[in-house]
Amino acid sequence: MARVELELTALPAHVRTARLVVVAAARRAGLADELVDELRLAVGEASSRAVGLHRAHAPHTPVLLTVTDDPRLLTVTVTDHGPAADPQVQDLAEDLWDRADDGTDDHVDPDVALAVLTGLVDDVSVEAGEQGTTVTLRWPLPARGGPIGLPSTAAAT
Amino acid sequence: MDLSLSTRTESGAAGDRTVVVVGGEIDVYTAPKLREQLIDLVSSGQYHLVVDMEGVEFLDSTGLGVLVGGLKRVRAHEGSLRLVCTQERILKIFRITGLTKVFPIHGTVEEAVAATD
């Protein structure tokens, strides 16, 4: 198992930092190429959401990201200290339309970001508590090849 | 990669169209730059826009919000905002959010400039 932890000051520029680090860790863990774009977008949405919430509610507290790879599962968590999540957006297009306004449309609406994540990634869980919200994203990892001659299932045990 | 923006005017069947060529990443960091560009165009009386997204490498919901904001602004002047995009990874977020029903999305700039409806 390998683990990467990242604490981000709530700056928009560091949303890109988060994408770069998580994509690098995921590639190293062996995430399939066809899932990397999905991961990049999902981590971008989750991090933008958290950074936006921190800028409004906890500007001096860092956003926490972790990337963990068990042999067969890549897990990314993004933990914020904003108001509890409410992933109940019914109509995304309508919500985006309603919230797009002069001067305010450069912020991620936290609930829209969650709804995009849910539509994008098969395995998403959202845990909202008093301190904030943890978004957990999971992707399968391919079996790693074991020593030459051994089937990969043997290497995983 | 940072956001790159350039504009040019092309003449279509229904009149001049302002083509905004966007490249790089549109996220929470760069989206304000795109928003300012769209606001400047509308402020200077250019209400028929074609946003060429073929060079966009990354687009998140912040970027979508800016495009929706641009569409609202041109519509307030009975204008139009058409997108040019064939990249599957960018189209995916339009589909997830249902915005494929809101934006006319074209395969080429020529097609978008020529569109009249």
Closest CA to A43 of A124, A106, A109, A104: A124
Residues in chain B, pLDDT under 50: none
User: What residues pair up with A70 in beta bridges, in sequence order?
Assistant: A73
Q: Do B96 and A116 touch (CB under 8 A)?
A: yes
C-alpha–C-alpha distance, residues A21 and A77, integer Å:
13
Please tell me what DSSP assigns to residue B1.
-
Residue A101 pLDDT: 60
CA angle B80, B84, B90 (to 5 degrees): 120
Check if B93 contacts A (Cβ < 8 Å).
yes
Other C-beta atoms lying within 10 Å of the C-beta of residue A146: 14
C-alpha–C-alpha distance, residues A3 and A92, integer Å:
34
Q: Which amino acid, one-letter code, is at B11?
A: S
Q: Identify all chain B residues contacting A113, using CB atoms and an 8 Å cutoff.
A: 61
pLDDT in 10s for each residue of chain A, 157 residues: 899 999 999 999 999 999 999 999 999 999 999 999 999 999 999 999 999 999 999 999 999 999 999 989 999 999 999 888 766 666 777 877 877 765 554 567 788 888 899 999 999 999 988 889 999 999 999 987 544 444 545 444 4
* Residue A42: exposure state from Cβ atoms within 10 A (0-12, 13-18, ≥19): buried
Out of A15, A41, A101, closest to residue B93 by CB: A41
B55-83 tens-digit pLDDT: 999 999 999 999 999 999 999 999 999 99
